Structure 1
Amino acid sequence: MMLRTLVFTLALLLPQMAVATCNGTDLRTRLTADQTADLDALMRDMPYPDGNHWIAHKGDQTIHLIGTIHVADPRLPAVADALAPVIATADALLVEATAIEEEQLKDAMATRPELISLASGPTLIDLMPAEDWAELAQAASQRGIPPFMAAKLQPWYLSLILGMPPCVMTAMQNGGEGLDKALLRVASENGTPATALEPFDTLFTLMGQDPLEEQVALLRLGTFGVQQLEDLTATLVAQYFAQEHGAIMPLNRVVTRSWLDLPKSEFDVLFDDMLDKLLVRRNANWLPKITASQGVTVVAVGAGHLGGTHGLLNLLAGDGYMLTRQPF
């Protein structure tokens, strides 16, 4: 389940996600004294833990870094309007995925079922105990996915689905627009070229590279309740609008660790491995493309990519850029 909650948390900070109003509560108000102490320790001395809009200057180069959240929220239109002049006057917009990558992904999922499915061999029903599968099948059914279809999905992909409360699945089916889509539309209307920072299948490659048995082992850790997942959603959205992106993953670590019957050391190894794949490696791969840009560039990516030792802000600071926080 750690895999599911972490992937879901990241997904909310990644493209192509829309979220309805779920009935969750902010978990920050319910932390125990021990959890608060753990969170404080994780946050201590973290570089650039907050701020959703920064400017990096170096020579004649100006880079706006905007942390986004890919959910539909009534507060986002005002944010997009405030950022529109920045996008409209920029020489380039760099994002995680443009409409081109979205179409490539749709085509690939239609023609390359192995991206998300177990194309051959045993299904998940055959790969885990019956009681474990029964729990997962029920959770899949709650999200409108027939168990026979869920059984044929790659474990990491089913983890992603089961990490979303049903209200999120409903919202995804009904559409909705996060900040990324709004900024891409502004760029299109003003002739600002938009380019993706990575190929469309990057996340699929990263998530699917672990051996099948390891993916199944993570999947078998169990499922969280719908209310727990809605609380995680509400907490993440609240952190984003408080511009506390640096605390998103530490809080996720502290809370979900307490929900699992797993040794702390083992949990942390799994959590760190996922962070390495989905944040650390991708940030490192993006950096050369960001620093090679000319003139005024806007980089609009999930807010989780900004802060921390391996975040884009600290990487740019280490490369000699002067950073200045902006209003958001």
Structure 2
Amino acid sequence: MIRTLLACLALAGLATMAQAACEGRDLRSTLTATERQTLAVAVAATPYPAGNRWRATRGGDVIEILGTVHLDDPRLAGPAARLRPLVRDAGLVLLEMTETERADLMRAMQSDPTLLVLDDTTLPELMEEDDWQRLSDAARARGLPPFMVARFRPWYVAMLLSFPPCLKAELAEQNGFDAQIESMAREAGTPLRALEPYDTAFRAFDRVPRAAQLDMMLTSLTDAGTSEDQLATLLAAYFDEDHAAGWIVNEILAPRTGVLEGEAAEAAFATLTEALLDARNRAWIPRIEEAAAATDAPVLAAFGAAHLHGEAGVLNLLDEAGWTLERQRF
């Protein structure tokens, strides 16, 4: 589950995915009857569990809402073609980050290494020797020298390891769905704006207690096959427009990894969810509403699909604020 969160929220290295390079399977097909029932009950209890595209209206204001995936995929071709007119005709496109914020973030990382680097210790000093050796092996599989990884903050290592080794050769380009939407907007001359400051997610990660960061890092130490399966499950659920199911299924299957279970896993996940999803969602709502009120044409808000569902999901928060929501064709 934590791996899914990291894959959805990684800010660096979100890149073109060559489907031929990764051969993971959709883990939903492996669920037992009991696990399927657990999933069905959990999804049914989740507000707005499905649908990648929605329209919110209140008075004369219109917000077009798009849940994205931060990796490229051939299956995006159809939705991208259908959404091009929507991007062209929008009065404003809101994204998690635009080219401007990405450039600001790169400058900040170069000028302030402590954004990513531990300044008071190293990972081998914080970990059991066996865990450090496992981490070193996982880093090498992704072309990362362990001596460098030893100085990184645990949350950043967890992010780096959230993608399977099969993606290593493809992590040079940035062409996720968010980037494609941004390119469409620039081609059409549609104004762009970020939903938050460039370092919001980085600061949110850093506010997570170090012990929880280490726990989430350990959950990333799954074998290559499991890693590929988890990514395949996330993407398959996205294209089925079942984003809540793709999220919840990984929590149901977490005991299979045997890395972090029980209360420790639940606590780490709750902390991350609040910092990286729920708190950001709540901060986005007034920005989205203000943009809609100030723009004659509809506003298009596009962000990771993980932000759509749940009590503190963007859709439910808009519903509670008096917006009428209608699912649209993705």
Cα offset for 1:184?
A: 0.9
Cα offset for 1:251?
A: 1.1
Q: In the alignment, what sits opposite 1:87?
A: 87
Cα offset for 1:200?
A: 1.0
Cα offset for 1:77?
A: 2.6
Confirm whether residue 158 of structure 1 aligns to residue 157 of structure 2.
yes
Letter in 2 for 1:315: L
Cα offset for 1:260?
A: 2.5
Letter in 2 for 1:188: R
Q: CA contact under 8 A between 2:56 and 2:62: conserved in structure 1? A: yes
Q: In the alignment, what sits opposite 1:275?
A: 273
Confirm whether residue 171 of structure 1 aligns to residue 170 of structure 2.
yes
Q: Structure 1 201/225 Cα, relative in aligned 2: closer, same or farther at 3 Å? A: same
**What are the superposed Cα offsets for residues 203-261 of structure 1, whole Å, 9 maximum, x if unpaired?**
11111113334433543467100000100111111111111112222112111243225
Letter in 1 for 2:318: L
Q: Which of 239, 247, 250 lines up with 1:249 in the alignment?
A: 247
**What are the superposed Cα offsets for residues 155-208 of structure 1, whole Å, 9 maximum, x if unpaired?**
1111111221112232112x1512111111111112111100011111111111
Q: Spell out the pairing of 1:256-271 with structure 2 (5 A cutoff).
A: 256-260=254-258, 262-271=260-269
Confirm whether residue 70 of structure 1 aligns to residue 70 of structure 2.
yes
Q: CA contact under 8 A between 1:91 and 1:297: conserved in structure 2? A: yes
Letter in 1 for 2:205: M
- List runs of 5+ in structure 2 lacking aligned partners: none
Q: Spell out the pairing of 1:28-39 with structure 2 (5 A cutoff).
A: 28-39=28-39
In structure 1, what is the Cα distance between the partners aligned to 2:220 and 2:48?
34
Confirm whether residue 321 of structure 1 aligns to residue 319 of structure 2.
no
Q: TM-score, normalised by structure 1?
A: 0.93
Letter in 1 for 2:324: M
Q: Spell out the pairing of 1:102-121 with structure 2 (5 A cutoff).
A: 102-118=102-118, 120-121=119-120
Q: Structure 1 211/46 Cα, relative in aligned 2: closer, same or farther at 3 Å? A: closer
In structure 2, what is the Cα distance between the partners aligned to 1:15 and 1:279?
19
Q: CA contact under 8 A between 1:42 and 1:250: conserved in structure 2? A: yes
In structure 2, what is the Cα distance between the partners aligned to 1:111 and 1:176?
22
Please give the secondary structure, in 1, of the residue aligned with 2:207. Answer: coil
In structure 1, what is the Cα distance between the partners aligned to 2:203 and 2:174?
27
Q: Spell out the pairing of 1:1-328 with structure 2 (5 A cutoff).
A: 3-11=2-10, 16-21=14-19, 22-118=22-118, 120-173=119-172, 175-220=173-218, 223-260=221-258, 262-293=260-291, 294-295=295-296, 296-328=298-330
> How many percent identity over aligned positions?
38
The answer to which of 16-25 and 289-298 deviates more is 16-25
Q: CA contact under 8 A between 2:208 and 2:275: conserved in structure 1? A: no
In structure 1, what is the Cα distance between the partners aligned to 2:218 and 2:178?
34
Letter in 2 for 1:327: R
Q: TM-score, normalised by structure 2?
A: 0.92
Q: CA contact under 8 A between 1:125 and 1:151: conserved in structure 2? A: yes
In structure 2, what is the Cα distance between the partners aligned to 1:176 and 1:204?
19
Letter in 2 for 1:228: T
Please give the secondary structure, in 2, of the residue aligned with 1:292. Answer: helix
Cα offset for 1:150?
A: 0.7
Please give the secondary structure, in 1, of the residue aligned with 2:66. Answer: strand
In structure 2, what is the Cα distance between the partners aligned to 1:91 and 1:263?
46
In structure 2, what is the Cα distance between the partners aligned to 1:218 and 1:189?
39
Letter in 1 for 2:52: N
Please give the secondary structure, in 1, of the residue aligned with 2:74. Answer: coil
Q: CA contact under 8 A between 1:15 and 1:96: conserved in structure 2? A: no
Q: CA contact under 8 A between 1:25 and 1:230: conserved in structure 2? A: yes
Q: CA contact under 8 A between 1:19 and 1:167: conserved in structure 2? A: no
- Root mean square deviation of aligned Cα: 2.0
Cα offset for 1:5?
A: 4.7
Q: Structure 1 172/290 Cα, relative in aligned 2: closer, same or farther at 3 Å? A: same
In structure 1, what is the Cα distance between the partners aligned to 2:121 and 2:170?
32
Q: CA contact under 8 A between 2:215 and 2:260: conserved in structure 1? A: no
Cα offset for 1:302?
A: 0.7
In structure 1, what is the Cα distance between the partners aligned to 2:167 and 2:226?
13
**What are the superposed Cα offsets for residues 259-296 of structure 1, whole Å, 9 maximum, x if unpaired?**
22555333222222211111111100000001112331
- List runs of 5+ in structure 1 lacking aligned partners: none
In structure 1, what is the Cα distance between the partners aligned to 2:260 and 2:166?
28
In structure 1, what is the Cα distance between the partners aligned to 2:236 and 2:105?
30
Q: CA contact under 8 A between 2:138 and 2:221: conserved in structure 1? A: yes
The count of corresponding residues between Structure 1 and Structure 2 is 324
Q: CA contact under 8 A between 2:24 and 2:228: conserved in structure 1? A: yes
Please give the secondary structure, in 2, of the residue aligned with 1:43. Answer: helix
In structure 1, what is the Cα distance between the partners aligned to 2:221 and 2:183?
37
